[in-house]
Amino acid sequence: MKKIVCMLTLTLTALWVLDAQTITSGTYKSENGLWSVSLTLEESGELTVIAGGKKEKYLRSETRKYCNTEQTRVKFCLDVINERRIYAYPDDGRDGTYYNLAEESSSLTQVDTDCPLAKKYLEKMETDDEGAQVWSYCGYAATLKCTSTQSEMLDELLLGMVENIKLIYKGENCPCSDVIPDNLWNK
């Protein structure tokens, strides 16, 4: 009998651990490569999501599900598939999109002390809710610039940042011209 109770306890514990899936904080890219979101799991259990130029708080509504708390727009939810993959969708029945972890936030925060430009944009991201996603791209571009050792590869990576910024930024001039040169911005 003790053996059965012990096995049942171990099984239930394993199921509970598997169900209590956590998420890795960082930047997630959609499977089609067109979209990215930044996620930070706070100590409080809230999830800070930066997407579409807005920073929002998502609260856990079920074991593996977080939903935004904004009442002014469509309710969006994120299902945690595993600690490096999410499924984001509007909670109105429409299809969503899978996202995979592209960059852990710990690697960005380790670099920002050695890269003042990255620190500058990451601080802007924290203080400007409306432009947070643009500033996160600029911070990431600055991090790339500080850590890259190959200029050809750097230009390719920065062009990727330019494409992402232009999807959400409405201005003519680059918002981070001290990181992204004009010749790349104007390509």
pLDDT, tens digit, 9 for 90 and up, residues 107-123: 444 443 457 888 888 88
Q: Evaluate if pTM is beyond 0.75.
A: no
Residues 67-124: pLDDT tens digits? 888 766 678 889 999 989 999 998 888 889 999 988 776 544 444 345 788 888 888 9
CA distance 155 to 138: 14
Q: Which CATH architecture has domain 26-103?
A: Beta Barrel (2.40)
How many other CB atoms are there within 10 angstroms of residue 111's CB atom?
A: 19
Handedness of CA 33, 37, 38, 40 (dihedral sign): negative
What token pair was written down for 101? Answer: 């972890």
Give start-end residues of each CATH 2.40.128 domain in the chain. 26-103
Give me the DSSP letters along 15-53. HHHHHS-----EEEEETTSS-EEEEEE-TTS-EEEEETT
List the one residue out of 170, 168, 165, 17 whose CA is nearest residue 180.
165
Cβ contacts of 68 within 8 Å, gap of 6 or more? 49, 56, 57, 58, 75, 76, 77
Residues 8-20: pLDDT tens digits? 333 333 333 334 4
